[in-house]
Amino acid sequence: MEELRKFVRYFRPYLSSIVFGVLCILFGMVFNLLVPYIVGMAIDELSREITWYKVFYYPLAIVGVSAVGSAFLFLQRRLLINASRHIEYDMRRDFYDALVHQPLEYFSNTRVGDLMARATNDLGAVRQIVGPMILYSFQAVFALAVVLPIMFGISVKLTLFLLIPLPFVSLTVKFLGQQIHTRFEKIQEFFSGITARAQENLNGARVIRAYAQEDSEIGEFQKLNTEYADKNINLVKFAAAMRPLLFFFIGLSFVIIVAVGVPMAVRGEITAGEFTSFILYLQRMIWYLIALGYVVNLYQRGTASLKRFNAILETEPAIKDAPDVREQPKIKGKIEFRNLNFAYDEKPTLRGINLVIEAGQTVALVGKTGSGKSTLVSLIPRIIEADEGTVLVDDIPVRRFPLEQLRGAIGYVQQETFLFSNTIESNIAFGVNELSDGHSGNGRSRLTVEKAAAVAGLAEDIKEFPNKYKQLVGERGITLSGGQKQRTAIARAVMRDPRILILDDSLSAVDTLTEENILRELRDIRSGRTTVIVSHRISTIRDADLICVLEEGEIIERGTHDELLDIKGEYADLYQRQLLEEEIEATE
């Protein structure tokens, strides 16, 4: 019930449609339940005297009443099913909104396949609660509320005999309904695992083929698929047993009615018309009792899925705007790390970082793999969260900036390049509202797509594509080389005309000549904006205003390229090693 109480909020915008739909159910049931009464009356009247008036009146009355009932049936389905689709839309929107606001750590600890299963199967099952379940529930309740008094009015004795099998119907619904709920919840969880496995295999198709593991993966997926089928078959056994058992117990009612009712009709205790009406009302009540079994099935499935859906919505984003956060002055680009310490799962990653990057300055971070460079730059746009007051922009702690304002002023090229399965143009312009010349959110003139591509050294490559800037890049940019993907990501970052530009090892996949061309173009772009470059190549950062060398999460050296060479420390050793590597490559 707790899950349903949380679910009620989605009903409010469509309450009028739901109320009118329920009223249509009520009026529709009234007209539909008039039919057995008219049939019984027709039999009694025609058995007394057959006239042309009666021959035409009663059939037309039945047709007319049925037509009005059908009209209300159309309206109730239109109103309630439409409302269920709108509610499904709202739930899907909230589900997606909850996901996109989660930090990166959330997706590291949650399987994407599980999230996809909840967004598809689970939401579909929840929608059934709103449309079909409400529809059939009210139909059954209204029908039983009207039919039973009518049947008591026809014959109290017959109706009491009819009620004998009903406790068995209730027990069947209760027991099998609980079994369905438990099994369906486990099936949905298992389906998440299958979806996750399929998603991993599709994303890792190249690795699977490279290691010739196609047959092995097919075999593993077959095992999961077989187990999933077995679980569903087990569920179907209970779901399939519900209706036959209901039919059986309700069929007993017919046996009792025939055994008791026919002698009563013969003795004249009830008329033939009344007995016929009673049978027709019994048929309708049977249908609605079976509908109740279907409703229980939908309810058990829907609440199991609703629990999984709410689990996502109730997950609070670890990184979000504070309640009292407000818009700050326009960002200029000064960055400061003040006594910064950071740890992943209590494992220290950064220690005692104190660094001031003035607005418009270019600062480079170098160091061995795992020294904390990427972690440090990820703290600036709050991709991961630092302690309060340890990371500042324009002398203001980053947590005091609205996330939209902070990230809107940053162009961030991450170490792992991700492209959307869209055109080159759309990937470059991602995060910018218009494609034509105009102004960015920070009020400064921004670049065109073509200029951004030229800055990133991608323009010549694009000319070779059949569709130029409209060329589709495939899922995750699979049709592009590693260097082309990196350059597309750089173009995407500079396209935003950000006040702070972060390049996290973004030139590692390009050759030296291309790197030199990109750096030359970036010098003009970097002018007037703060740039933070993470790199393993000295050639990428040698003209930076400040170079910081990190080792085991600490800054062990800082200065310009020439100053660091004079120190003859870690940076100088790295520089000499790279010179030696270049000489070896040149002689090969």
Q: Per-domain residue ranges for the chain?
A: 2-191+236-313, 329-409+500-556, 417-498
In terms of Cα–Cα distance, which of 531, 239, 228, 274 is closest to 377?
531
- Rounded CA separation 377/363 (Å): 11
In terms of Cα–Cα distance, which of 435, 381, 433 is closest to 407?
381
Band (436; pLDDT cuts 50, 70, 90): very low
In terms of Cα–Cα distance, which of 533, 530, 522, 535 is closest to 491?
522
Band (210; pLDDT cuts 50, 70, 90): low
Average pLDDT over every residue of 471-485? 73
Band (28; pLDDT cuts 50, 70, 90): confident
- Between 74-78, 265-269, 371-375, 394-398, the lowest mean confidence (pLDDT) is in 265-269
Band (545; pLDDT cuts 50, 70, 90): confident
Q: Given the DSSP bridges, would you call strands 500-504 and 530-534 parallel, antiparallel or unpaired?
A: parallel
- The CATH homologous superfamily to which domain 329-409+500-556 belongs is P-loop containing nucleotide triphosphate hydrolases (3.40.50.300)
- Rounded CA separation 338/553 (Å): 14
474 Rama class: left (phi>0) / alpha (psi -120 to 50) / beta: left
Above 80 in pLDDT, residue 254?
Answer: no
- Rounded CA separation 514/490 (Å): 13
- Rounded CA separation 148/528 (Å): 83
How many angstroms separate the first and last alpha carbons of the chain? 73
Q: Any idea which architecture 417-498 has in CATH?
A: 3-Layer(aba) Sandwich (3.40)
In terms of Cα–Cα distance, which of 32, 24, 23, 37 is closest to 65?
32
Band (170; pLDDT cuts 50, 70, 90): low
Helix (H) or strand (E) holding 336: strand 335-344
Query: 487: burial class by Cβ within 10 Å (0-12, 13-18, 19+)?
Result: buried
- What per-residue confidence (pLDDT) applies to 37? 82
Band (439; pLDDT cuts 50, 70, 90): very low
- Rounded CA separation 137/132 (Å): 8
Above 80 in pLDDT, residue 515?
Answer: no
Average pLDDT over every residue of 299-310? 76
- Rounded CA separation 462/425 (Å): 10
- Rounded CA separation 261/270 (Å): 8
For the record, the structure tokens of 465 come out as 């594509």
Above 80 in pLDDT, residue 315?
Answer: no
Number of helices and strands in the chain (H, E): 23, 10
Handedness of CA 140, 142, 143, 146 (dihedral sign): positive
User: What CATH number is given for 2-191+236-313 in this structure?
Assistant: 1.20.1560.10
- What per-residue confidence (pLDDT) applies to 582? 62
**41 touches 3 (CB < 8 A):** no
Residues 6+ apart with CB under 8 A from 517: 457
For the record, the structure tokens of 446 come out as 């921004």
Q: Tokens 């030359």 map to which residue?
A: 520
- Rounded CA separation 38/277 (Å): 8
Query: Between the ranges 441-445, 509-513, 554-558, 574-578, where is the mean pLDDT highest?
Result: 554-558
Eight-class DSSP state of 400? G
Q: Tokens 């499935």 map to which residue?
A: 301
Handedness of CA 462, 465, 466, 471 (dihedral sign): negative
Alpha helices in 214-271 (DSSP H): 214-267
Q: Tokens 């496995």 map to which residue?
A: 197
Query: 453: burial class by Cβ within 10 Å (0-12, 13-18, 19+)?
Result: buried
Above 60 in pLDDT, residue 247?
Answer: yes
Query: Residue type at 273?
Result: G
* Residue % of the chain over a pLDDT of 90: 0
Handedness of CA 217, 219, 220, 224 (dihedral sign): positive
Same CATH fold assignment for domains 2-191+236-313 and 329-409+500-556: no
Q: Which long-range contacts (CB under 8 A, 24 or more apart) does 570-577 make?
A: 570/367, 571/366, 571/547, 574/366, 574/538, 574/549, 575/538
Average pLDDT over every residue of 425-451? 59
Average pLDDT over every residue of 129-155? 80
Above 70 in pLDDT, residue 113?
Answer: no
For the record, the structure tokens of 166 come out as 């009903």
**249 touches 169 (CB < 8 A):** yes
pTM of the predicted model, to two decimals? 0.65
* Residue % of the chain over a pLDDT of 70: 85
Q: Tokens 């090892």 map to which residue?
A: 505
Q: Given the DSSP bridges, would you call strands 546-551 and 554-559 parallel, antiparallel or unpaired?
A: antiparallel
**504 touches 413 (CB < 8 A):** yes
Instruction: Return the higher-pLDDT residue of 105 and 45.
Output: 45
In terms of Cα–Cα distance, which of 427, 429, 403 is closest to 417?
427
Query: Residue type at 414?
Result: Q
Above 80 in pLDDT, residue 54?
Answer: no
